[in-house]
């Protein structure tokens, strides 16, 4: 009887240890995957910027095209938008939500574009990746090293239902784009309302395109 109980205890211990190891392996794999995703995206962006620089076509429009090609498909635009809207989300009619996703995605790309529009053969280094306690969010350090200046940023990614990592925020020199936009839109909703805020975003984005 004791032998059977001991066997069951040992078996339970083996199962628990095995599960812990599997969970641990999954966490570390996820952290590595987040860094790999950021490295892949920014390597493609860097190669494209070098080509633009060499051909004297490094314009804001071309930088946005590069980001739209390589970065935007890797962004969880809906999550970013809904987090920015925050408590104002309930005020936005269903038929206007996709328009907010579109306009705020453009603002996200514009922020990255502003970070890169003075590219002068800087090296984009992807640093360490850390996970949130839940393991669902990753923060990856980025350093843009130039001859006279170094810019630091932290890219934030969210694990999707398909277990892939998607971008949703960036902190440049400690300032979060998501939180900045959240504050801006909260003030705009109070002043302009839903449709007025959407129109305001559209005008800003159009001005960037025209410029």
110-169 pLDDT, tens digit each: 888 887 877 888 888 999 999 998 889 999 999 888 878 888 889 999 998 777 899 999
- Distance of alpha carbon 114 from alpha carbon 201, whole angstroms: 17
- Please classify residue 185 by burial: count the beta carbons closer than 10 Å to its beta carbon, then call 0-12 exposed, 13-18 middle and 19+ buried: buried
What pLDDT score was predicted for residue 32? 85
Q: What is the pLDDT of residues 23-81, one digit of tens each?
A: 333 444 466 889 999 999 999 999 999 999 999 999 989 999 999 999 999 999 999 99
Find out whether 157 and 166 touch, Cβ atoms under 8 Å: yes
Its pTM stands at 0.78
Query: Tokens 């494209």 appear where?
Result: 48
More confident position, 23 or 100: 100
CATH tag, 33-210: 3.10.450.710
Given a cut of 50, is residue 20 above it in pLDDT?
no
Q: Residues 6 or more apart from 150 whose CB is under 8 A from it?
A: 143, 144
Cα maximum dimension of the chain:
82
């Amino acid at each position: 009887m004791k032998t059977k109980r001991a066997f069951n205890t040992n078996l339970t211990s083996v199962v628990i240890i095995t599960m812990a190891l599997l969970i641990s392996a999954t966490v570390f794999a996820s952290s590595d995957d987040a860094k790999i995703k950021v490295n892949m995206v920014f390597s493609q962006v860097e190669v494209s910027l070098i080509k633009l620089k060499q051909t004297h076509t490094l314009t804001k429009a071309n930088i946005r095209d590069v980001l739209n090609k390589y970065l935007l498909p890797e962004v969880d635009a809906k999550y970013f938008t809904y987090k920015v809207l925050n408590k104002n989300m309930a005020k936005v009619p269903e038929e206007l939500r996709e328009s907010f996703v579109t306009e705020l995605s453009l603002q996200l790309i514009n922020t990255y574009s502003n970070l890169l529009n003075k590219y002068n053969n800087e090296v984009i280094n992807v640093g360490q990746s850390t996970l949130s306690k839940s393991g669902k969010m990753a923060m990856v350090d980025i350093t843009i090293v130039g001859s006279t200046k170094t810019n630091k940023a932290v890219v934030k990614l969210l694990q999707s239902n398909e277990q892939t990592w998607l971008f949703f925020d960036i902190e440049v020199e400690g300032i979060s784009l998501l939180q900045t936009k959240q504050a801006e839109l909260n003030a705009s909703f109070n002043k302009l309302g839903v449709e007025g805020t959407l129109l305001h975003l559209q005008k800003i984005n159009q001005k960037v395109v025209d410029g």
